[in-house]
Structure 1
Amino acid sequence: MNYQIEKYTPSFKDSILKVWEKSVLATHDFLRADDFVEIKEMLQNFDFSSLDVFCLTGDKELVGFIGLYETKIEMLFLDPDYMGKGLGKYLMNFAMTNLGANEVDVNEQNNHARTFYEMLGFKVFGRTEKDDAGREYPILKMKRI
């Protein structure tokens, strides 16, 4: 399949929400059901153009996306059917090379994501007890040095 990275436009929003949901259900087994619903509702009203969001498409279908604020990765999600194929690394290399991405926050319970970012040279430099919304999910702050 031929993959392309495209700048976000509002036409991608429904596909982004679908990929986000499938990805979170496959990878965030620590997330409480009511928190999942709350985050999903928040994202439905979220203005993705407020971040630098880039969409990964293959055969005109969105398979993943990455969003940054300045040089911090705020979101990276892949459709689970496309995980393990190097596409997360592809998006990360794009963000690091073209956008200077060098920071990311990771749920402490998400060992797979932490390992993924460590393979790309990120190191933990801080930790919070709760996520940005005050929920009981510790966050690891990572930076690429």
Structure 2
Amino acid sequence: MITIRRSRPGEGARIIEIWRSAVDATHDFLTPEDRLALDEMVCGFLPQAPLWLAVDANDYPLAFMLIDDGHMEALFVDPAHRGTGIGAALVRHGLTLHPKMTTDVNEQNDQAVRFYERMGFRQTGRSAVDGQGRPYPLIHLEHQVDWPVSGQPAS
């Protein structure tokens, strides 16, 4: 059973562990230098960020999501638990709080692009570089309110 709750002080090491393993599993397009620079930046803010966590029955974090003013800044799932619906559960939770939630996804991350499309997000724009000005194009997405929070299209 998965529960969604706010992150707590002292969970930073596990959150960084999830981030690192998820990035290593899905972001093979990053150069080693950019991966290292991102790691340094993320370690500086993520442990203190107000996150939503998906935790197992033992209250062990399996995934996290960061939402800032209706924009999902981050969604990362421990690779050992990908494909189990945890990421979708976090997104559905975010959509209950922000029905027209937006997010950005790396264009090179095909699996993530397809995931967000299945969840009812549609492209609203594109940037040639990421938020740090690196050459990793972003697709800007917004959830379509005619899609129910279940992640399935309305019939």
What is the aligned-residue identity percentage?
A: 31
**Aligned equivalent of 1:55:** 53
Contact kept, 8 Å, 2:15 with 2:47, in 1: the verdict is no
Contact kept, 8 Å, 2:128 with 2:138, in 1: the verdict is yes
Please give the per-residue CA displacement for 1:101-131, whole angstroms capped at 9, x wherever unaligned: 5101000001110110001111111111100
More deviation in 75-84 or 36-45? Answer: 36-45
Contact kept, 8 Å, 2:26 with 2:109, in 1: the verdict is yes
Let me know the Cα RMSD of the aligned residues: 1.4
TM-score by length of 1: 0.93
In the TM superposition, what is the alpha-carbon distance from 1:48 to its structure 2 partner? 5.0
> Is 1:106 the equivalent of 2:105?
yes
Q: Secondary structure at the match of 1:10?
A: coil
More deviation in 66-75 or 39-48? Answer: 39-48
Matches of 1:99 and 1:11, distance apart in 2: 27
> Is 1:88 the equivalent of 2:87?
yes
In the TM superposition, what is the alpha-carbon distance from 1:13 to its structure 2 partner? 1.0
TM-score by length of 2: 0.87
Q: Secondary structure at the match of 2:51?
A: strand
- The residue type paired with residue 59 of structure 2 is K
- The residue type paired with residue 81 of structure 2 is Y
Query: Structure 1 stretches of 5 or more lacking a match?
Result: none
Name whichever structure is richer in strand by fraction: 1
Matches of 1:67 and 1:87, distance apart in 2: 14
In the TM superposition, what is the alpha-carbon distance from 1:47 to its structure 2 partner? 5.1
| Aligned CA distance change for structure 1 residues 48 and 103 (closer, same or farther; 3 Å) | farther
- Runs ≥4 residues deviating over 6 A: none
Count of aligned positions: 143
